Amino acid sequence: MSRLATKICGLSTPETLDAALKGGASHVGFVFFPKSPRHLDFDRAIGLASRVPPHVTGVAVMVDPDDAFLAQAVASGVGAIQLHGKETPDRVAAVRTRFGLPVWKAVSVKTSADLDTGRAYVGAADLLLYDAKTPEGAALPGGMGLRFDWRLLSAFDPPLPWGLSGGLDADNVAEAIAITCAPLVDVSSGVESAPGIKDVDKIAAFCKAVSRS
């Protein structure tokens, strides 16, 4: 079991969810975004969330959701909400108040100035997830296997609990942790054999690499 928090994101089958749990993941992510190859419908999410034990947190990942969509995602049985769109601090605070769950805000990073945009979410979000900025016009705001310069974080003092995301895999996560001292790492593409297809062996290898860090 790792001392670092680990989120395996974009899970959509019982087998791969179980691989994440067996590997010691602290968080498992369910993506509710129809444009994503990892999109889950709410019925399937209920089935998956029911397999998640109490010591693990299911995280609903959404992009600029309205309250009705949020309500359906939350009803699936998750324990946290990850907002991965252009949600403002006021919107993040309103979601946290309305749904009573911890809210993570993704911060898209390419430059050091991007890191600073997270400061506006102090008092609104519970955790900042620093993720690689995807190109303008990209189909997805996350989950594209892109990484940013981790050295940006080595000289940065995050204003909230935080996590590192973007382009991580079993081969590079130890280096990423060593450079950034991230308390939480999050992965999606790096534990897949194809977009949206999670690989149980890659999940196990990732969890093992984190646990050795």
Q: Which is nearer to ligand LARABZUK, 124 or 131 (CB)?
A: 131
Chain residue whose CB lies nearest ligand LARABZUK: 143
Please list every residue from 66 through 105 that binds ligand LARABZUK, using CB under 6 A. Answer: 84
Q: How many residues interact with ligand LARABZUK (rule CB under 6 A)?
A: 27
Kindly state whether residue 32 participates in binding ligand LARABZUK, applying the rule CB under 6 A.
Answer: no
Count the Cβ atoms, other than its own, within 10 Å of residue 81: 24
Q: Which is nearer to ligand LARABZUK, 87 or 186 (CB)?
A: 186
- Distance of closest approach, residue 173 Cβ to ligand LARABZUK, in angstroms: 10
Active site members:
9, 131
Count the Cβ atoms, other than its own, within 10 Å of residue 140: 18
- Rounded to 5°, the CA angle 132-136-138 comes to 80
> Cα separation of 110 and 195, whole Å?
23
Kindly state whether residue 158 participates in binding ligand LARABZUK, applying the rule CB under 6 A.
Answer: no
Identified binder of ligand LARABZUK from the candidate list 96, 167, 207, 210, rule CB under 6 A: 167
Kindly state whether residue 125 participates in binding ligand LARABZUK, applying the rule CB under 6 A.
Answer: no
- Distance of closest approach, residue 87 Cβ to ligand LARABZUK, in angstroms: 12
Kindly state whether residue 140 participates in binding ligand LARABZUK, applying the rule CB under 6 A.
Answer: yes
Identified binder of ligand LARABZUK from the candidate list 19, 31, 92, 152, rule CB under 6 A: 31
**Residues in contact with ligand LARABZUK by the rule CB under 6 A:** 9-10, 29, 31, 33, 36, 38, 61, 63, 84, 131, 140-146, 165-168, 186-190
